[in-house]
């Protein structure tokens, strides 16, 4: 015995659908009426604040000066309502216009002397030299001529040697250095 179930969804009666639609429409009308009421209240409050509403049941009354009994001063000197009275409003005086600030004029800085790199200084030294030089001799010559000095480097000659080898490998015959012997260099064609 097997029972077959219907795979189609159960249909709601038309009257239930109509009543659901009616309930949705009624809720939408209630929301719209509430929104209109809120907008009307906001308009009335704006009119009361500015005193521009002159017609209608909620017209703003002209502001009358408060008597001394109706207002009091707080510790900062601001008006506060006395018991049972309305708060007195006083117009603030307009703020004076600010004067434009003078433009700051910066004096142009003198251009800094371009610092010569270790490799450029070594190229200058080797170009002036008639004899092949080692990296340590180049460092000593650069420091003696005040072209370059090591900024607290522990092995500037090793750094210079590596830079010279890289330049020779990268530029080939156009390099400013040429390897004369192991660890010894002369001026190249690019010098």
- What's the Cα-to-Cα distance from 150 to each of 5, 15, 75, 98, 153, rounded to whole Å? 93, 97, 69, 55, 6
What pLDDT was estimated at residue 60?
A: 47
Q: Which of 24, 40, 63 is the last residue of a domain?
A: 63
Helix (H, G, I), strand (E, B) or coil at 115: coil
Is the residue at 8 inside a domain? no
Would residue 99 count as lying in a domain?
Answer: no
For residue 73, is it within any domain? no
Q: Is residue 157, in this structure, part of any structural domain at all?
A: yes
pTM, entire model = 0.43
Share of the chain above pLDDT 90, in %: 41
* Helix, strand or coil, per DSSP, at residue 28: helix
Q: Is 32 inside a domain boundary? A: yes
* CA 167 to chain CA centroid, nearest Å: 43
Alpha helix stretches (DSSP H) within 51-129: 118-128
Domain count, the chain: 2
Top-confidence residue, 68 or 102: 102
Q: pLDDT band at 12, cuts 50/70/90?
A: low
CB 160 within 8 A of CB 119: yes
Range of the domain at 33: 15-63
Task: Give a yes or no: residue 170 inside a domain.
Answer: yes
In this structure, is residue 98 part of a structural domain?
no
Assigned domain for 81 exists = no
């Amino acid at each position: 015995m097997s029972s077959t179930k219907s795979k189609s969804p159960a249909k709601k009666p038309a009257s239930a659908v109509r009543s659901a639609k009616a309930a949705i429409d009624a809720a939408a009308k209630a929301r719209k009426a509430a929104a209109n009421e809120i907008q009307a209240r906001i308009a009335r409050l704006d009119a009361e604040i500015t005193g521009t509403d002159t017609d209608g049941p909620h017209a703003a009354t002209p502001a009358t000066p408060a008597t001394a009994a109706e207002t009091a001063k707080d510790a900062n000197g601001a008006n506060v309502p006395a018991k049972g009275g309305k708060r007195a409003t006083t117009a603030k005086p307009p703020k004076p216009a600010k004067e434009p600030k003078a433009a700051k004029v910066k004096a142009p800085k003198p251009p800094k002397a371009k610092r010569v790199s270790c490799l450029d200084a070594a190229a200058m030294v080797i170009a002036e030299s008639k004899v092949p030089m080692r990296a340590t001799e180049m460092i000593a010559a650069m420091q003696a001529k005040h072209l370059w000095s090591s900024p607290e480097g522990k092995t500037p000659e090793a750094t210079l040697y590596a830079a010279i080898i890289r330049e020779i490998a990268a530029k080939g015959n156009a390099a400013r250095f040429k390897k004369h012997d192991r660890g010894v260099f002369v001026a190249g064609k690019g010098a």
